[in-house]
């Protein structure tokens, strides 16, 4: 074997070693992330307080104060405390919130269904947190960006993403992407969407548009279309208040097998305010009632899951039916409860935080001793460190693998340009010629009598054989084709093409293999080809 070929094999082995390191490190990262999320809890409650608006009665002393995991509310001379998994104060940024949600979004690639829900009174910032504003996107767009980044940089291209958007309005479902895509055929009455619960526990939504998204830009424009299609009606709490739930679903599929890896639900819930306060009448009152019913059904479901109850009342609302395979076991759920800083909204704030307390359940509301809290925090910090370090090293490994692969590619190209005898084409045909000669020798040894009938050359195969022979002779005589210098390596690629090459390939390899005229050579050549095509990838 020639010197260059040995060098190349060493490079191939290096790549394989890097890939194996990548895979074991990725497994380690996944275990650490799983443990981390398990310790933190598979259903978590965050709270976010919106900053004062200019029109509100601004006070120096706020009735509500936020600590890392505690919300304190002063009301009628008494103080109430609510424990949450993470509290975001008025100065919290979209980045701060997303940073806490990010590991959960990433866990979708490890097969966990994810559900992020924004809960709260109208006007407290649910849409701000989920959608964001121009130049300062919320969780949905940040999550999509993250998913595409993961696919292109971290994981591999085998994953595909699809997106759906629907609205639950007064107990009925509306496909927000279908309405926008076909404005002339917009007919929600005839377009029926039904929720099918499979015995396996998975949920399918029949009739819902599930659009493939190829990149972040396309995902953003589709999301914006869906957003604009949302039904809104105004109450006197907030002029653009939404009296419907808006759900964005992203499905991660394994592109090779088309299998669903996970579902991510990002939900901007309808306002949770009490109907008395809104002063709503007629249609708007009905909308409010419907919202309140579905929110209380959601609270019941999450509380039952947290308490590990045998029966979980998913069927009590369309919202919980839709989310039923993404709230339970194996799923990662975050509910972000939103509150207003204003004294005027104090009663609503207390209602919201009471809801949060309920969904956090008895188990997690139990006051942990200071000692246990410290141990827990230490373990979380350790696992967080392991996950982050593994992520950093995975990035480096990915770059190293990419560099090693392109170095091999460049060498191959340079050798071909130099007229090196290691050109993939020459190798392929010399291999073919060697096989031909070898087969001829065997045939001679066996004698004409033992040659099976199907191996006897036909007229056309004789013509092809002589054409091939001439081609091989030309090759041998050409500046590329000195047989004594040739080395074969299975790692060569078939990337080099050209008229001369394709002509030869089609004459000597493809025809022989496909039509079976060179029955001795055909299968052998086919066996070699997959080796030539070998691709290094971390998938
Ligand atoms: P909701 O969806 O709960 O009804 P919105 O998201 O529409 O509430 O928020 C109401 C208003 O408050 C919007 O003008 C929004 O931009 C603003 N707002 C909400 N939260 C924040 C925040 N954290 N920082 C800055 N502005 C906010
Ligand atoms: Mg809103």
Residue 120 annotated as binding site: yes
**Mean pLDDT value across residues 238-253:** 79
Which two structure tokens, joined as six digits, stand for 538? 């971390």
**For residue 341, which ligand has an atom nearest its CA?**
1
Decide: helix, strand or coil at residue 519.
coil
Given a contact cutoff of 8 angstroms between Cβ atoms, the answer to whether 249 and 264 are in contact is yes
Regarding beta strands 245-254 and 78-83, do their DSSP bridges make them parallel or antiparallel, or are they unpaired? unpaired
Nearest CA to ligand 1 atom 23: 50
Of ligand 1's listed atoms, the one at least distance from the Cα of 120 is: 3
Ligand 1 pocket test target in 48, 92, 128 with most atoms within 8 Å of CB: 128
Give dist(CA 450, CA 459) in Å, integer.
20
The residue with greater pLDDT, 511 or 14, is: 14
Q: Which pLDDT tens digit goes with each residue over 205-216?
A: 999 999 999 999
Residue 123 annotated as binding site: yes
Question: How distant is the alpha carbon of residue 520 from its chain centre?
Answer: 47
Average pLDDT of the chain to the nearest whole number = 73
pLDDT band at 297 (very low <50, low <70, confident <90, very high): very high
Q: CA geometry: angle at 251 spanning 250 and 252, to 5°?
A: 120
Q: CA geometry: angle at 209 spanning 203 and 214, to 5°?
A: 105
Report which DSSP code applies to 271: P
Give dist(CA 298, CA 308) in Å, integer.
15
pLDDT computed for residue 28 by the predictor: 86
Q: pTM for the complete prediction?
A: 0.67
* Residue pointed to by tokens 């299609």: 229
Give dist(CA 226, CA 164) in Å, integer.
9
**For residue 56, which ligand has an atom nearest its CA?**
1
* Three-state SS sequence of 290-321: HHHHHHHHHHHHHHHHHCCCCCCCHHHCHHHH
Given a contact cutoff of 8 angstroms between Cβ atoms, the answer to whether 70 and 85 are in contact is no
The residues near 12 (Cβ < 8 Å, ≥ 6 apart) are 408, 491, 536
Give dist(CA 280, CA 288) in Å, integer.
8
Q: Which pLDDT tens digit goes with each residue over 314-346?
A: 999 999 999 999 998 888 999 999 999 988 888
Given a contact cutoff of 8 angstroms between Cβ atoms, the answer to whether 219 and 265 are in contact is no
Of ligand 1's listed atoms, the one at least distance from the Cα of 242 is: 4
Q: State the sign of the Cα–Cα–Cα–Cα dihedral 395, 396, 397, 402.
A: positive
Phi-psi region of 282 (alpha: psi -120 to 50; beta: other; left: phi over 0): left
Q: How far is the CA of 253 from the centre of ligand 2 (A)?
A: 30
b/e 333-358 (16+ beta carbons within 10 angstroms → b): bbbbbbbbbbbebbebbbbbbebbbb
Residue 122 annotated as binding site: yes
Can you name the residues that pair with 196 across neighbouring β-strands?
204
Q: Which residues line ligand 1 (CB under 6 A)?
A: 50-51, 120, 122-128, 133, 238, 241, 271, 338
b/e 104-118 (16+ beta carbons within 10 angstroms → b): bbbbbbbebbbbbbb
Residue 127 annotated as binding site: yes
Q: Which pLDDT tens digit goes with each residue over 84-109?
A: 989 999 999 999 999 999 989 988 98
pLDDT above 70 as % of the chain: 64
Which of the given ranges, 14-23, 187-196, 518-527, has the highest pLDDT on average?
Answer: 14-23
């Amino acid at each position: 074997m020639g010197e260059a070929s040995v060098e190349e094999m060493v490079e191939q082995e290096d790549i394989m070693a890097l890939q194996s390191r990548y895979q074991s490190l990725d497994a380690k990262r996944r275990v650490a992330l799983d443990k981390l999320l398990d310790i933190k809890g598979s259903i978590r409650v965050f709270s976010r307080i919106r900053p004062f608006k200019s029109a509100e009665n601004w006070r120096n002393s706020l009735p509500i104060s936020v600590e890392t995991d505690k919300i304190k509310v002063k009301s009628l001379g008494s103080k109430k405390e609510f424990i949450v998994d993470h509290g975001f104060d008025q100065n919290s940024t979209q980045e701060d919130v997303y940073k806490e949600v990010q590991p959960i979004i990433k866990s979708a690639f490890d097969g966990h269904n994810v559900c992020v829900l924004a809960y709260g009174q109208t006007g407290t910032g649910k849409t701000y947190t989920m959608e964001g504003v121009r130049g300062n996107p919320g969780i949905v767009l940040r999550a999509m960006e993250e998913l595409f980044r993961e696919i292109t940089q971290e994981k591999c291209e085998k994953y595909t993403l699809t997106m759906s958007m629907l609205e639950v309005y007064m107990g009925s479902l509306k496909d927000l992407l279908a309405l926008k895509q076909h404005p002339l055929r917009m007919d929600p009455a005839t377009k029926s969407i039904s929720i099918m619960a499979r015995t396996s526990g998975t949920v399918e939504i029949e009739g819902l548009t599930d659009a493939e998204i190829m990149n972040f830009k396309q995902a953003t424009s589709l999301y914006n279309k869906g957003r604009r299609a949302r039904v809104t009606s105004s109450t006197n709490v907030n002029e653009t208040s939404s009296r419907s739930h808006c759900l964005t679903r992203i499905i991660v599929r394994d592109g090779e097998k088309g299998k669903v890896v996970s579902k991510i639900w990002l939900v901007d819930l309808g306002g949770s305010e009490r109907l008395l306060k809104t002063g709503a009448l007629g249609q708007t009152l009905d909308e409010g009632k419907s919202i309140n019913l579905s929110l209380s059904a959601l609270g019941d479901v999450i509380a039952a899951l947290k308490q590990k109850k045998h029966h979980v009342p998913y069927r009590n609302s369309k919202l919980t039916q839709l989310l039923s395979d993404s709230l339970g076991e194996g799923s990662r759920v975050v509910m972000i409860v939103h509150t207003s800083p204003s004294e005027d909204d104090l009663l609503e704030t207390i209602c919201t935080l009471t809801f949060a307390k309920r969904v956090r359940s008895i188990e997690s509301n139990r006051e942990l001793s200071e000692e246990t809290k410290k141990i827990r925090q230490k373990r979380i910090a350790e696992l967080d460190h392991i996950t982050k370090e593994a992520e950093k090293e995975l990035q480096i490994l990915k770059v190293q693998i990419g560099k090693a692969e392109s170095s091999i590619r460049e060498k191959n190209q340079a050798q071909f340009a130099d007229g090196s005898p290691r050109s993939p084409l020459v190798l392929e045909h010399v291999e073919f010629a060697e096989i031909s000669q070898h087969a001829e020798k065997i045939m001679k040894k066996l004698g004409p009598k033992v040659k099976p009938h199907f191996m006897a050359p036909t007229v056309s195969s004789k013509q092809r054989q002589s054409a091939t022979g001439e081609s091989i002779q030309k090759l041998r005589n050409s500046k590329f084709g000195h047989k004594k210098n040739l080395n074969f390596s299975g790692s060569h690629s078939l990337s080099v093409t050209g008229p001369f090459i394709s002509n030869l390939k089609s004459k000597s390899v493809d025809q022989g293999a496909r039509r079976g005229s060179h029955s001795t050579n055909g299968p052998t050549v086919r066996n070699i080809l997959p080796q030539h095509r070998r691709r290094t990838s971390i998938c």
